[in-house]
Structure 1
Amino acid sequence: MGDHRSPSESDSPEDLLRTALDTFDDPFFVVDDDWRFIYVNDPARSFLAQSRGRELTVGEIEGLHLREVIPEAVGIPFYERYHEAMETGEAVTAEEYYEPLNSWFEVRAYPSETGLSVYLRDVTERHRRGEPIQERERVLREMYEVTADTERSFTEQVDALLEIGCDVLKTEFATLSRIRGDDYEFEIVRTPDGSIQPGDEVPLSATNCERTAATERTLVLADVVRDAPDLAEKAGYTEWGIACYLGAPVIVDGEVYGTFCFYDREPRAEEFSEWEVTLVDLVSQWLSYELTHQRTQEQLKRKNAQLEEFASLVSHDLRNPLNILDGWLELAQQSGEADHFDRCYRAIDRMDVLINELLALARAGERITDLQTVELADLVEESWQTVATANATLTVDTEQTIRADVNGLRQLFENLFRNGMEHGTTASRARSDAAFHESSNGRSGFGDQTEHRTDRVCFTVGDLDDGFYVEDDGPGIPPEERERVFEIGYSTAQGGTGFGLSIVRQIADAHGWDVSVVDGRDGGARFEFTRIERIHPAPAG
């Protein structure tokens, strides 16, 4: 700021005004209606000199045209605001960025009949304090636009959110993952090099996300080695080089679905800010809501489809035994013969079976939330005792402990055993007949051979890498029928309801398991259940 002289009695009103304006700490200048400077205070002189890039005195500036002092003024926001005030005759107030000085100024321009008075105030510091808020508003607005865009698919929305997060957090990697038991599946990913693709799987134990899922809390690691040395021993650091990590759990129906996380191969110089952590938490909560909503919609669609199937099955399958009952009951009343009444009872038993299995099918599709620790071998043995298996054997080759709904899993095993008995007895009988005829060929004593004839079916329950299998030595299931056997009402067994294997699949689906049919070791059917949550080691006692 320049030197200020004290006013004297000889000063004119104009001199007094000039002296007062010289005391301003902010730039102030006046131009006439021809845009020539007629007054410039010292802060304005300094401002204009910096804009020009060389030292100027007040005397050198006054009398010059605005464009002579600032040649690039035309087109800049300041110049436009000055002209707006002169053209409208009304005062103009605005905040503008002035690039030559890398600063923000509040501009107030007051027009008069003879020119324009301009007052400038440096508000750069205030803008710098407000920039983070403005940036956060921009990010939140962009996120809202993504999540509200119904034209985008869920995958496209998540991909856009991952991109926003990478930009804000300055990380190269971002993923939405799905956790299935001991497996960590990359569902939607952003990487700089394509090293990770959707659908790739790694052991959950190798990732930092294992801790995020176990604690169901956001994990914040600006420097993995410094902040969590034990995690630096995992493959995520030793093999993949993940040096910083920020991840939040995604919860669906009260259970951990997976994680929403960002990471990089270099540790951060600064900690993740509270705003950055909050941003990831916000998106993870949206994902939790959206995935829960999707699951609810899928369940609703399945229920509606199931209701339609039930209506069809009830009208078709129950009508037959009802017609039979109606006809034979009339004959029984007329004749009083026991055989006619027996046929009526069999029709009633058939309806009872159909109704029970329809109810079981309805319950099987319900989402399971109350999982318990289950010793698999014990439950298999219990299930075996409830099925009529007089002509069958069971081998249990498992010691694993899993998390499951006890009642649902028991019904799954019971249905598989019954299904194997229904389909396997016929084939086993055919093998026994062939063996009998071969063994009796050329021998006497027919009665001695009949005691060796059997309709035995052999079952085996054993372990897979991520689940278990149930296998029989029956006729097996042809490849072209392996999907159809799970359809409601489909059965190749005489008198079968076609509900048993549908119930098995729905119980597996309700647990989040995969089920498939392959050839057994002895040519029978082998049902494999995978993506199962194991407990290691098995609890004692």
Structure 2
Amino acid sequence: MRYSVTDGGGDTIRILHVDDELDLAELTAAFLMREDNQFSIEMASNASNGLDRLSETQFDCVISDYDMPGQNGIEFLKTIREKYPDLPFILYTGKGSEEIASDAISAGVTDYLQKESGTDQYTILANRVRNAVERYWIEREAEHMWTQLESIGNEREQIIERVTDAIVEVDSDWRFTLVNEQAEDLYEMSNEYLLGRDFWDVFQDAKDTRFETEYRRVMETREPTSFVEYFSQLDGWFEVEAYPKRDGGIAFYFIEVTEQRERQQELEAERRFISEALDALTDIFYVINPEGTLRRWNEPIVEVSGYSEAELTEMSAIELFPDDEQSRIAESLETTLETGADKIEAEIQTSDGTQIPYEFVNRRLTDSKGELLGVVGIGRDLTDAKAQEQELRETKQRLDLVLEGTKTGIWEWKIGMDEIEWDNTLERMFGLEPDSFEGTYEAFAKRTHPDDLPRVEEAMNQAIETDELYHTEFRMIHEDGDTVWAEVQGVVIKEETEPDRLIGLYHEITERKQREEQLEMFASVVSHDLRNPLNVASGYLELTQKECESNNLDRVAEAHDRMDRLIEDLLTLAREGDNVTNIELVDLTSLTENCWRTVATAEATLTTDINGVIRADRSRLQQLVENLFRNAVEHGGEDVMVTVGELVNGFYVEDNGPGISEDERDDVFDVGYSTAEDGIGFGLSIIKQIVDSHDWNVRVTDGTDGGARFEITGVEFTAE
């Protein structure tokens, strides 16, 4: 929304006012324009929208509230300072404190003004805007003058530094004004012949080529460019740099690079031939640098390993092998470098954890002068070695478990023996030096909180007895004495039919536990300290409505309803969180119809085109569908048409309302985001939370009839 006055004199002062209370923002805009008719004011309802406006329009000053959804005023200021370090920014807020003022000053605020009652504050605000913008304009003009002076010096230096190149200058009408000797030689045209002639008349073959595109871009944008391109009229390749001139024309600096280009093309053709020949091999081919990184490989190694070309570039050779094989591979490479050759059998570990047996024949690689280049080798598949199949399955099982978890500590307990192994990561997490963990069950037990140890042992024994996944959360004691929360998962590995080892992951969750406690405290405050006064207010409102009639009372009732929805959604976000506690089979058709009956849908109509049963938390799924229905009615109107349909791996809910523009689709799931005047901005964020908690995916796209369509994918259907 923009407000401006155009009948005044002087330069327009463009102001961006960011405040989530639009009524107050509009009032402020009106008073500011009364104070100064040079003001042109555009408003945004939050920091995200404000940043979008700044990227689209040039402003002279930003006025921002402090307490807003998403980023607050201080965070908004810090974001602006990263890209617009000098832009005047006035924090105009009703939430004043010494702490906020101090933070604002530290963040680089231009001025700070607290909202007050009365209209005098707008006169003060207008004066501070004018003063800040005037200083900004003066500093910017001074900077511009220095830039112009530096540009003159830079142009001269560039000409001096590149006098060995061909130099050509044209004016704004594309007529030659300078041609140096090198350019005359390349053009085979004299300076006298070229000066004053039109560039495009002389070099007509340059039209509709990259030369014309780049030169005209420099002329129009006044930004320099550089490129390498073939020019048919001179039958050669040229490296060109073009710069804008102060008089409105442009200058070209260029050299012919035809020989270099032809040599490069020959080398590239030779490389392609070699690569194609190597890719035709069924064996894998590789070259390893002396430091152990992969230098070159053929296509079969990409197909076998499952790693992309980019991933292989960043890997060392031994990373293609399991941890317990890497030391042997390293020794074989050292032997190859020392003796000239070596052969070794080892298992390649692919990107998905599969291990494939291979035989590798390595040779030392040197150049024509005998300088060491690394190791070259061939690998042949040995999959038919049946004796290794069981070892492959066990190694893959362990690797899959690690890959499914996060990058946390790994532990292993040899069942029936007093031996527990921790990897170095887990040792570091507990403040231990690598390989310093005592390696006994007693050492683990003494680091487990005594109140939790019985429950931990019970869970481990149950996993061993039932062959189920071991998963529990408990407290442990850090080396410095601090108590930390741990989430531990493990799986039982059997030797023949008997449990042999318990292997798993350790993940510290102390911060998550602290957040859960804070959320529970927050939910208690919202439920009691906010809902109780609201219930009292609603009760007295109902009594007052019976005694008298007034449209104002209806608006109060609507505000109460909105507050009640806000409290309900806050409680959902705080208490439900990412919890999915009861996965069961859910009939989508039945659940959809039940949800429609529980939502106030007015004259809206529902069409269901789905017939499937999925695995989900019924309660959370019902919240998801109800919020989608409620969103469709709120944004599509009381007579909106809503359709629920089936996808290959999920379902969708769409309406025939106004839809959601593409530039807003990335923001709709943010907490507090809403385009409705009375929207509270939590409904779609709750939907995203429920989707994430099920490990599903959600995206917004266009509906069949132009409305909004929400697609939920990654859903597990079942035949039951």
The TM tier, using the shorter chain, reads 0.3 to 0.5
RCO (CA 8 Å, sep 6+): is it higher in 1 or 2? 1
Q: Which has the larger radius of gyration?
A: 1
TM-score where L is the length of structure 1: 0.41
TM-score, length-scaled by structure 2: 0.31
Q: Which one has the bigger strand percentage?
A: 2
